[in-house]
């Protein structure tokens, strides 16, 4: 084979390898923890879970506020306590959450960075207080458009004693007609079933979820 032909063949196979790797990555769920940050700026839908925490504010309180002034959105407040394996309240746990808007879309404002370009504008962080308490003030997400997927809020935790963050079971809603019956007892990830019993009070959905870590 001529030298130029060899170079062309090399370039072709390199491109093919890159393409295959990309497709394999895309098959991995966003919930699949990976161990290495694959890009410098986390600007990719398939990056490592650590990227959830790259753009968080330096100062966090125990309340996460996700702004949404759309008149069609319904306010939602979820609070609870995170407990350690030994059942003691867990202070200084960083909780990250993101979810769809009232239309079921991960809508964007255009100023999202890194991983949040994929998670959309409805995202935020908070850190449990000295009693392990957290609070999320947001809007109730809708099912993905034209699907029967349950309403859900994705969430990941970063605990002080462990550098490796992890996803917990999505927050879901007990009154959601799309919530499959067999999901009621499904404990697939840390944090139990994730199903929150919400009640509407003065126009705001209120719910409680305690998170017991194993
Ligand atoms: Fe989702």
Rounded to the nearest angstrom, the gap between the alpha carbon of residue 197 and the centroid of all alpha carbons in its chain is 20
Total number of domains constituting the chain:
1
Question: Is 55 within a domain?
Answer: yes
In a domain, 89, yes or no: yes
Determine the structural domain holding residue 68 and report its residue range: 3-27+40-212
- Ligand 1 midpoint to CA 46 (Å): 14
| DSSP conformational letter for 190 | B
CATH of the domain at 134: 2.60.130.10
* 153 alpha carbon – ligand 1 mean position (Å): 7
Give the pLDDT mean for 57-82.
97
Condensed to tens digits (0 to 9), the pLDDT of residues 182-213 reads 765 555 678 988 999 999 999 999 999 999 99
Q: If you measure from the C-alpha of residue 131 to the centroid of ligand 1, how many angstroms do you get, rounded to a whole number?
A: 29
58 assigned to some structural domain = yes
Residue 35 lies in a domain: no
190 occurs within a structural domain? yes
- Assess if residue 134 is contained within a domain: yes
Q: Give the integer Cα–Cα distance in Å for 125 and 114.
A: 15
**Residues β-bridged to residue 169:** none
CA of 170 to the centre of ligand 1 (A): 9
Does some domain include residue 33? Answer: no
Q: What is the token pair recorded at 76?
A: 């939602």
In terms of Cα–Cα distance, which of 207, 63, 55 is closest to 129?
A: 63
User: Residue 16: what pLDDT?
Assistant: 35
Residue 74 lies in a domain: yes
Distance 178 CA to ligand 1 centre (A): 14
**What pLDDT digit, counting tens, does each position of 71-130 carry?**
999 999 999 999 999 999 999 999 999 999 999 999 999 999 999 999 999 999 999 999
> How many A from CA of 13 to the centre of ligand 1?
35
**Residue labelled with tokens 């917990």:** 168
CA 139 – CA 185 distance, rounded (Å): 25
Q: How far apart are CA 136 and CA 79, in angstroms?
A: 6
* Model pLDDT for residues 34-55, shown as the tens digit of each residue: 444 544 579 888 889 999 999 9
């Amino acid at each position: 084979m001529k030298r130029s032909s060899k170079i062309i063949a090399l370039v072709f196979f390199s491109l093919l390898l890159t393409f295959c790797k990309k497709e394999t990555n895309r098959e991995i769920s966003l919930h699949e923890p990976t161990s290495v940050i694959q890009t410098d700026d986390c600007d990719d839908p398939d990056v490592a879970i650590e990227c959830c925490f790259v753009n968080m504010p330096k100062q966090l309180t125990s309340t996460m506020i996700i702004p949404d002034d759309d008149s069609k959105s319904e306010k939602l407040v979820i609070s609870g306590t995170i407990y350690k394996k030994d059942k003691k309240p867990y202070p200084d746990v960083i909780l990250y959450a993101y979810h769809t808007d009232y239309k079921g879309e991960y809508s964007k404002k255009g100023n999202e960075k890194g991983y949040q370009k994929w998670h959309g504008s409805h995202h935020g962080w908070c850190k449990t207080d000295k009693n392990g308490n957290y609070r999320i003030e947001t809007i109730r997400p809708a099912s993905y458009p034209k699907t029967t997927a349950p309403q859900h809020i994705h969430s990941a935790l970063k605990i002080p004693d462990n550098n490796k963050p992890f996803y917990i079971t999505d927050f879901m809603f007990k009154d959601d007609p799309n919530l499959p019956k067999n999901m009621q007892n499904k404990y697939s990830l840390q944090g139990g079933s994730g199903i929150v019993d919400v009640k509407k009070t003065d126009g705001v959905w209120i719910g409680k979820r305690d998170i017991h870590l194993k």
